[in-house]
Protein backbone atom coordinates (compact mmCIF):
# COMPACT_ATOMS: atom_id res chain seq x y z
CA UNK A 1 0.00 0.00 0.00
CA UNK A 2 2.85 2.52 0.57
CA UNK A 3 3.90 2.26 -3.08
CA UNK A 4 0.31 2.70 -4.24
CA UNK A 5 0.13 5.85 -2.09
CA UNK A 6 3.33 7.04 -3.78
CA UNK A 7 1.84 6.44 -7.23
CA UNK A 8 -1.39 8.29 -6.40
CA UNK A 9 0.68 11.12 -4.93
CA UNK A 10 2.72 11.40 -8.14
CA UNK A 11 -0.44 11.44 -10.28
CA UNK A 12 -1.89 14.11 -7.97
CA UNK A 13 1.30 16.13 -8.28
CA UNK A 14 1.23 15.95 -12.08
CA UNK A 15 -2.34 17.24 -12.14
CA UNK A 16 -1.40 19.97 -9.69
CA UNK A 17 1.61 21.00 -11.75
CA UNK A 18 -0.62 21.24 -14.82
CA UNK A 19 -3.03 23.53 -12.93
CA UNK A 20 -0.12 25.56 -11.57
CA UNK A 21 1.25 25.99 -15.10
CA UNK A 22 -2.10 27.29 -16.33
CA UNK A 23 -2.37 29.65 -13.37
CA UNK A 24 1.17 30.99 -13.89
CA UNK A 25 0.61 31.48 -17.62
CA UNK A 26 -2.66 33.36 -17.09
CA UNK A 27 -1.54 35.30 -14.01
CA UNK A 28 -0.41 38.83 -14.80
CA UNK A 29 0.30 41.07 -11.79
CA UNK A 30 -0.15 44.22 -13.89
CA UNK A 31 -3.55 43.05 -15.11
CA UNK A 32 -4.82 42.03 -11.65
CA UNK A 33 -6.78 45.24 -11.21
CA UNK A 34 -9.12 44.15 -13.99
CA UNK A 35 -9.51 40.47 -13.02
CA UNK A 36 -7.93 39.73 -9.67
CA UNK A 37 -7.16 36.12 -8.86
CA UNK A 38 -9.20 34.52 -6.10
CA UNK A 39 -6.25 32.27 -5.26
CA UNK A 40 -3.78 34.26 -3.15
CA UNK A 41 -0.16 33.75 -4.13
CA UNK A 42 0.89 32.73 -0.58
CA UNK A 43 -1.80 30.02 -0.47
CA UNK A 44 -0.84 28.62 -3.88
CA UNK A 45 2.86 28.71 -2.98
CA UNK A 46 2.35 27.09 0.42
CA UNK A 47 0.17 24.35 -1.09
CA UNK A 48 2.82 23.50 -3.68
CA UNK A 49 5.76 23.68 -1.27
CA UNK A 50 4.08 21.58 1.42
CA UNK A 51 2.95 19.01 -1.17
CA UNK A 52 6.46 18.64 -2.60
CA UNK A 53 7.97 18.56 0.89
CA UNK A 54 5.47 15.93 1.98
CA UNK A 55 6.30 13.81 -1.04
CA UNK A 56 9.99 13.98 -0.16
CA UNK A 57 9.27 13.01 3.46
CA UNK A 58 7.09 10.10 2.23
CA UNK A 59 9.94 8.92 0.01
CA UNK A 60 12.25 9.07 3.02
CA UNK A 61 9.75 6.91 4.93
CA UNK A 62 9.69 4.40 2.09
CA UNK A 63 13.51 4.26 2.03
CA UNK A 64 14.18 4.19 5.80
CA UNK A 65 10.92 2.72 7.19
CA UNK A 66 11.14 5.07 10.19
CA UNK A 67 7.85 6.02 11.84
CA UNK A 68 8.88 9.64 12.37
CA UNK A 69 8.76 10.21 8.60
CA UNK A 70 5.36 8.54 8.31
CA UNK A 71 3.80 10.67 11.06
CA UNK A 72 5.48 13.79 9.68
CA UNK A 73 3.90 13.05 6.32
CA UNK A 74 0.44 13.01 7.89
CA UNK A 75 1.09 16.36 9.58
CA UNK A 76 2.31 17.86 6.31
CA UNK A 77 -0.70 16.45 4.43
CA UNK A 78 -2.99 18.23 6.90
CA UNK A 79 -1.55 21.56 5.77
CA UNK A 80 -1.64 20.55 2.10
CA UNK A 81 -5.30 19.54 2.39
CA UNK A 82 -6.21 22.76 4.21
CA UNK A 83 -4.66 24.95 1.54
CA UNK A 84 -6.12 22.75 -1.20
CA UNK A 85 -9.65 22.96 0.20
CA UNK A 86 -9.29 26.73 0.57
CA UNK A 87 -8.35 27.04 -3.09
CA UNK A 88 -11.10 24.63 -4.19
CA UNK A 89 -13.79 26.66 -2.42
CA UNK A 90 -12.49 29.89 -3.95
CA UNK A 91 -12.23 28.26 -7.40
CA UNK A 92 -15.86 27.11 -7.23
CA UNK A 93 -16.95 30.74 -6.89
CA UNK A 94 -14.95 31.70 -9.96
CA UNK A 95 -16.21 28.70 -11.93
CA UNK A 96 -19.86 29.41 -11.07
CA UNK A 97 -19.51 33.08 -12.08
CA UNK A 98 -20.39 32.18 -15.66
CA UNK A 99 -18.79 31.24 -18.95
CA UNK A 100 -15.85 33.02 -20.47
CA UNK A 101 -16.95 35.48 -23.11
CA UNK A 102 -15.43 35.04 -26.55
CA UNK A 103 -12.39 37.22 -27.19
CA UNK A 104 -12.98 40.54 -28.85
CA UNK A 105 -11.72 41.24 -32.35
CA UNK A 106 -8.32 42.84 -32.59
CA UNK A 107 -9.39 45.46 -35.13
CA UNK A 108 -12.68 46.89 -36.18
CA UNK A 109 -13.69 47.81 -39.67
CA UNK A 110 -12.97 51.47 -40.48
CA UNK A 111 -16.10 53.60 -40.47
CA UNK A 112 -17.67 54.21 -43.88
CA UNK A 113 -17.70 57.63 -45.44
CA UNK A 114 -14.10 58.33 -46.34
CA UNK A 115 -12.85 59.25 -42.88
CA UNK A 116 -9.24 60.22 -42.45
CA UNK A 117 -7.01 57.12 -42.08
CA UNK A 118 -5.72 58.37 -38.79
CA UNK A 119 -9.27 58.58 -37.47
CA UNK A 120 -10.37 55.26 -38.97
CA UNK A 121 -9.80 53.37 -35.75
CA UNK A 122 -9.38 54.48 -32.18
CA UNK A 123 -9.22 52.54 -28.91
CA UNK A 124 -12.62 53.99 -28.04
CA UNK A 125 -14.07 52.35 -31.16
CA UNK A 126 -12.50 49.04 -30.14
CA UNK A 127 -14.01 48.97 -26.66
CA UNK A 128 -17.38 50.17 -27.92
CA UNK A 129 -17.61 47.35 -30.48
CA UNK A 130 -15.84 44.59 -28.59
CA UNK A 131 -18.73 43.41 -26.41
CA UNK A 132 -21.49 41.58 -28.21
CA UNK A 133 -25.00 42.65 -27.36
CA UNK A 134 -24.05 45.91 -25.65
CA UNK A 135 -26.42 48.11 -27.62
CA UNK A 136 -24.63 51.45 -27.74
CA UNK A 137 -22.96 50.94 -24.35
CA UNK A 138 -19.24 51.43 -24.23
CA UNK A 139 -17.42 48.54 -22.54
CA UNK A 140 -14.60 48.99 -20.08
CA UNK A 141 -11.33 47.06 -20.49
CA UNK A 142 -11.83 45.08 -17.26
CA UNK A 143 -15.14 43.63 -18.44
CA UNK A 144 -13.37 41.25 -20.80
CA UNK A 145 -10.93 39.93 -18.22
CA UNK A 146 -11.37 36.84 -16.07
CA UNK A 147 -9.31 35.56 -13.14
CA UNK A 148 -6.51 33.17 -14.17
CA UNK A 149 -8.09 30.18 -12.41
CA UNK A 150 -11.15 30.53 -14.67
CA UNK A 151 -9.09 28.75 -17.32
CA UNK A 152 -8.68 25.54 -15.26
CA UNK A 153 -10.21 22.47 -16.93
CA UNK A 154 -12.94 21.14 -14.64
CA UNK A 155 -11.92 17.53 -15.24
CA UNK A 156 -8.34 18.22 -14.12
CA UNK A 157 -9.50 20.05 -10.97
CA UNK A 158 -11.84 17.18 -10.05
CA UNK A 159 -9.22 14.54 -10.87
CA UNK A 160 -6.61 16.37 -8.81
CA UNK A 161 -8.98 16.49 -5.85
CA UNK A 162 -9.98 12.83 -6.11
CA UNK A 163 -6.39 11.64 -6.35
CA UNK A 164 -5.47 13.90 -3.43
CA UNK A 165 -8.19 12.33 -1.26
CA UNK A 166 -7.07 8.85 -2.34
CA UNK A 167 -3.46 9.73 -1.48
CA UNK A 168 -4.39 11.00 1.98
CA UNK A 169 -6.49 7.90 2.71
CA UNK A 170 -3.74 5.54 1.54
CA UNK A 171 -1.05 7.34 3.55
CA UNK A 172 -3.17 7.31 6.73
CA UNK A 173 -4.06 3.62 6.27
CA UNK A 174 -0.40 2.78 5.69
CA UNK A 175 0.73 4.67 8.81
CA UNK A 176 -1.98 3.01 10.91
CA UNK A 177 -0.89 -0.41 9.63
CA UNK A 178 -4.19 -1.32 7.98
CA UNK A 179 -3.79 -3.97 5.30
CA UNK A 180 -0.45 -5.35 6.49
CA UNK A 181 -0.05 -9.11 6.54
- Residue 24 is predicted with a pLDDT of 85
Q: What is the pLDDT of residue 132?
A: 46
* Phi then psi dihedrals of residue 172, to 5 deg: -65, -45
Q: Which residues of 162-172 are buried (b: 16+ CB within 10 A; e: fewer)?
A: ebbebbbebbe
Tens digit of each residue's pLDDT (9 = 90 or more) over 161-179: 999 999 999 999 999 988 7
Calpha distance 42→87 (Å, rounded): 11
Give the pLDDT band of residue 105 (cuts 50, 70, 90): low
- This prediction has a pTM of 0.70
| 94: nearest Cα among 37, 174, 17 | 37
Least confident of 20-24, 25-29, 77-81: 25-29
Tell which wins on pLDDT, 168 or 24. Answer: 168
DSSP 30: G
Average pLDDT, the chain: 79
Q: In terms of pLDDT, which residue wins out, 50 or 102? A: 50
Q: How many whole angstroms separate alpha carbon 170 and alpha carbon 173? A: 5
The rounded percent of the chain whose pLDDT value lies above 90 is: 46
Higher local confidence (pLDDT), 51 or 23:
51
CB 54 within 8 A of CB 76: yes
Helices 2-26, 154-176: axis angle to 10 degrees equals 150
pLDDT tens digit sequence for 119-158: 555 555 444 444 444 444 444 444 456 777 777 888 999 9
Amino acid sequence: MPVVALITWIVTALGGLYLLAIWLIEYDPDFQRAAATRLPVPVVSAHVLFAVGGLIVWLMYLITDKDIFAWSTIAILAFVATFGLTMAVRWIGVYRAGPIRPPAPLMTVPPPGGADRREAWTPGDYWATSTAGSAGRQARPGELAVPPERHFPVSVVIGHGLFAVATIVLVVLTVLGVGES
